[in-house]
Structure 1
Amino acid sequence: MSALTKTDFNFPGQKGVYHGKVRDVYNINDEQLVMIATDRISAFDVVLPKGIPFKGQVLNQIAAKFLDATKDICPNWKLATPDPMVTAGVLCKGFPVEMIVRGYLCGSAWRTYKSGVREICGVRLPDGMKENQKFPEPIITPTTKAEIGEHDADISKEEILARGLATPEEYAILEKYTMALFKRGSEIAAKRGLILVDTKYEFGLHDGEIYLMDEIHTPDSSRYFYSEGYEERFEAGQPQKQLSKEFVREWLMENGFQGKEGQQVPEMTDEIVRSISERYIELYEHITGEKFEGDESEGLAERIEQNVAAYLK
């Protein structure tokens, strides 16, 4: 199985390209973005040395489905999906924050809580909570949007407003959209036997209006638990069965890597790569209720180039 880890296209009207951790974003005439979901995978803000077959297609197709399924809540950037690994959409000026919303205490929030901290991003947390416990109401814990090579950092609503990263009016809309999108995502997940545990959203301005940008409700931006057995596992203090990228982070931590200086990424064997690919496909099929149709041909780059060029005509 082939994986697309690098792109270097020259599309009609191309003004520039931004190579992110996992996405390559092409600016077309300062009007549209062509976002290619590559098969690169990152964890702890580090791009791992091997690509994961079908990962880009999984992320792109899940995001496209959720963008369509939530456009009644707020406008979003998507115009078309000219290729299974590509979304084209309107160019927005992004807010330099990510809106992270959490329905349950787990992941980095649990690690912080376990260390004794009771306030995250200005949100006060009750004492006596356990790992994977549901919050009385979902909480928003924003982070800054890191520059390349830097880590995202927690930030409070008060700091966002004090630093002028959004106006009070804009932030009120960001909060409203975040909660409404999370509610919709949770409802869709519940129909599929899943719990949407936490996720992140990115927003930007287009013609003075706030738009949802980037991906939404994918395994890279979200964490899902299986509903079945959640209560039993929680009561027994056992780890939850989950569909997210957390299993990649756990594998890295077990092998002594957390993205810290001097640490080496463990060897990514063919078996590990295949198992990660299978987990991504599993999430796609669970969350969409559809069979995944992967293109196993070698010429991924050629296919993308042809499809995007045809779309831009």
Structure 2
Amino acid sequence: MRASFPDRGPVVTNKISQAHLGNVLRDATIPELPGHYRGKVRDNYDLPDGRRIIIATDRLSAFDRILTAVPFKGEALTQIARFWFERTADVCPNHVIDYPDPNVVVCRRLDIMPVEIVVRDYLTGTTSTSVWSMYKAGQREMYGIRLPDGMTEHQKLPDTIITPTTKAFDAGHDEPLTPAEITGRGLLTRAQWDEVSALALALFDRGREIAARQGLILVDTKYEFGFDADGRIILADEIHTPDSSRYWFGESYARRVAGGERPENFDKDFVRTWVTARCDPYKDPIPAIPDEVVLQAAALYTDVFKRITGRDFPIPDEPTPVLERIRANLARYF
């Protein structure tokens, strides 16, 4: 099975080779760093002075388990987020302090806001909290917003909307919220809600504008905000990566929707799709994922980087072991 990017030419994999398969970052444990917390795909270290080191590994997580490790995945996602953080810093302050390594961001620790902010421009989605799922079920009022009758799947919404949910910190399920519920439950004050709403819409507007220059439609995205020690609202986590956002290809959108087809998008579920075609991943053992599939997944992540940023992804001919490189670049934090 090969990754496919219709109307965009074949995926180029000639520089991603077997040598890179053996040079993935599965484990980013560094004993010299304090406050280690291992997430599904990122390892975090909390320094005593209030800074946090986040290392994006190459682990690929789905179905509540780690499926494999994909060369360059952690680096590509870190550098896509960096691209967007740098291009939106004038819109909203963010948590970034430094990038000592391509897989690493050093940032400020924040008190994370108990509300997850999702901004949407189109009537689409498959999860229970997506506007299309609700609309298809007959709802017209959702998240404190009323949508008109007669809309169709993947249609542009009359206005860009915010669909906030609870933030499930303990692996629970996100629940839809309205602005009135957010302030009524004391999750945020009215002033905080007004400010974070304005910031989210401004960030999305900047992202939509830059994506359009690359021939992409920024369909929807999730933002995570936190509060610093002075109570200021700060953008955290990641921004406009393919893991937190939906992108469609602008050149084929109208034609495909008019023909009743789904818009073309980044197939970030490439490996996930391969697995589900061969087993029930929630019940069965996961079959060994072939090298060819992993290499194609690597090509996909590096291609996504190029399509979003407009820059070639740097693929070394003779790769240095990733953890060795990270340790060297983080030595000053030991």
Q: Same fold (TM over 0.5)?
A: yes
Q: Which amino acid aligns with 2:296?
A: S
Give CA-to-partner distance per residue, 1:38-96, whole Å, 9 cap, x none. 1122346x243212211110110011111111111111111111000001111111102
Which of the numbers 41, 44, 48 marks the counterpart of 1:29? Answer: 48
> Does residue 17 of the first structure (1) align with residue 17 of the second (2)?
no
Aligned to 1:84: 102
CA distance in structure 1 between the aligned counterparts of 2:273 and 2:155, rounded to whole angstroms? 19
- Corresponding position: 1:38 with 2:57: yes
Matched, 1:213 2:236: yes
Aligned residues of 1:100 and 1:198 also touching (Cα < 8 A): yes
Identity percentage over the alignment?
Answer: 44
- Where does 1:119-268 land on structure 2 (aligned, <5 Å)? 119-206=141-228, 207-243=230-266, 245=268, 262=283, 268=289
- Where 2:69 maps in the other structure, the secondary structure is coil
CA shift in 2, pair 1:158/1:42, >3 Å: farther
- Number of residue-to-residue matches in the alignment: 307
Deviations 1:210-266 (A, max 9, x none): 111111011111111111111111111112111253556655665675x8x647656
Whole-angstrom distance in 2 between the partners of 1:270 and 1:98: 36
> Which secondary structure state, in structure 1, belongs to the residue aligned with residue 68 of structure 2?
coil
Give yes or no for contact 1:223–1:244 (8 Å, CA) kept in 2.
no
* Separation in 2, partners of 1:171, 1:305: 40
Which letter does structure 2 place at the counterpart of 1:226?
Answer: F
Distance 1:11 1:63 in 2: 27
Gaps of at least 5 residues in structure 2 are 1-20
User: Which residue type is aligned with residue 231 of structure 2?
Assistant: G
More divergent stretch after superposition (48-57 vs 190-199): 48-57
1:66 corresponds, among 84, 93, 103, to 84
TM-score by structure 2 length? 0.84
Name which one, 1 or 2, has greater alpha-carbon Rg. Answer: 2
Question: Paired residue for 2:331?
Answer: 309
Counterpart-to-counterpart distance in 2, 1:101 and 1:253 = 29
Q: Which amino acid aligns with 2:300?
A: R
Separation of aligned partners in 1, 2:170 and 2:237: 17
Task: Give RMSD over aligned pairs.
Answer: 2.4
CA contact (8 A) 1:223 1:245 kept: no
Q: Residue 292 of structure 2: which of 259, 271, 275 is its match? A: 271
1:294 is aligned to 2:312: no
Contact residue 40 and residue 66 of structure 2 kept, 8 A:
no
Find out whether 1:101 has 2:116 as its counterpart. Answer: no
* Residues 156, 52 of structure 1: alpha-carbon distance in 2 compared, 3 angstrom cutoff: farther
